[in-house]
Structure 1
Amino acid sequence: MPGSRTFRPLLMAAGSVVAILATTAVPGQAQTDRCTFLQPIGGDGSNPVVSKTVGRAKLFGKTNWNTDFIVDRPYRNYKFFFTANSSDAKAKYPVEGFMKFTDGTSLQVINATMNPPIGQGQEFGPFPAVPEKQASQMNFKVGASSDPGALGFSYRISVQGCM
């Protein structure tokens, strides 16, 4: 079917499965996305790439596991980017991604357990905009889980909106 979209599973290194959207190109029709990096909430607007280190879960207060990126206009789809700055060969890192909407609902688009080599990047998506919903934020969550080796893991993340 011309221009149809299909989902295909992507098997992650740790065996988790994530649905990745694949677009079927129409012969003779160019598929060009104009993508823009979304700015992280709380950033200074100069750098759309966020660097973080996984910290311990806190009894009170917030962890540093969540990072939100502002959606400043409607996009056709979204791409999430993740790169390891450090790694422990035995540790596993839970990575989740969510689309958040103006009506207060959300949709999980990434649910993976990773053990990436240092400097290795992973692109997730593109994930299509949800019809009848207005996206307000894209959320990346990288946590320590119950794996003590994951504490201190550092990484870089960013999100793009594409027209």
Structure 2
Amino acid sequence: MNRAIVATFMTLAATAATSVPAAQASCRFLMPLGGGGNPVVSKRIGPDRLVGRTNWNTDFIVDRDFRSYRFFFTSASSERATFPVSGFMVFTDGSSLQVINETPTFEPGTGRMFGPFQAVPGKRTRLMNFRVGSSTTPAAIGFSYRISVQGCT
């Protein structure tokens, strides 16, 4: 991964760490499901498909209990774009909780942290799902971005 990308995510993470209580300052990046060992995923918003799956969803594996979770998004496109961003906590019992449901406008190279979102008492989180894009915003097709998720103890 390019050093500028890592620096952007580390800056976002460091900024986020100073804005949460000390008890939540110990955070680590979660690995994407099916990823190649890199916690930061680079994608491009693709079109809706009649057959097959879109590339809008990215799951991050929760391999232990955390007190809270944070989603990070950075624009990698050279143009401004507006599109839906959703985030879900997926639990071991098959249920889920939507924690992000926004349609922000992203300027080129800008980033944003969503959260922190507290763990749900009595539920074991299995995945954090980041969904970017929608068939209702065809103008965003081709927009590039980078995402990651952190779990904090």
The TM-score, its normalising length taken from structure 1, stands at 0.78
Q: Distance in 2 between matches of 1:24 and 1:74?
A: 18
Q: Which has the higher helix share?
A: 2
The answer for the alignment partner of 2:29 in structure 1 is: 37
Mark the runs of 5 or more structure 1 residues left unpaired by the alignment.
1-22
- Among 60, 73, 94, the residue aligned to 2:84: 94
Shift of 1:87: 5.3
Q: Tell me the CA shift for residue 146 of structure 1.
A: 2.1
Q: Max radius of gyration: which structure?
A: 1
Work out whether residues 62 and 128 of structure 2, in 8 Å CA contact, stay in contact via their aligned partners in 1: yes
Off by >4 Å, runs of 4+ in structure 1: none
Residue segments in structure 2 that go unaligned for 5+ positions in a row? 1-18
SS of corresponding position for 1:149: helix
Map residues 1-163 of structure 1 onto 2, 5 A cutoff. 30-45=22-37, 47-86=38-77, 88-89=79-80, 91-163=81-153
Label 1:77 to 1:143 Cα distance change in 2 as closer, same or farther (>3 A).
same
Mapped partners of 2:39, 2:28: distance in 1: 10
Structure 2 residue matching 1:137: 3-state secondary structure: strand
Percent identical among aligned pairs is 61
Tell me the C-alpha RMSD between the 2 structures. 1.7
Instruction: State the distance in 1 between where 2:137 and 2:65 align.
Output: 38
Q: Distance in 2 between matches of 1:87 and 1:103?
A: 41
- Offset at residue 32 of structure 1 (A): 4.9
SS at match of 1:158: strand
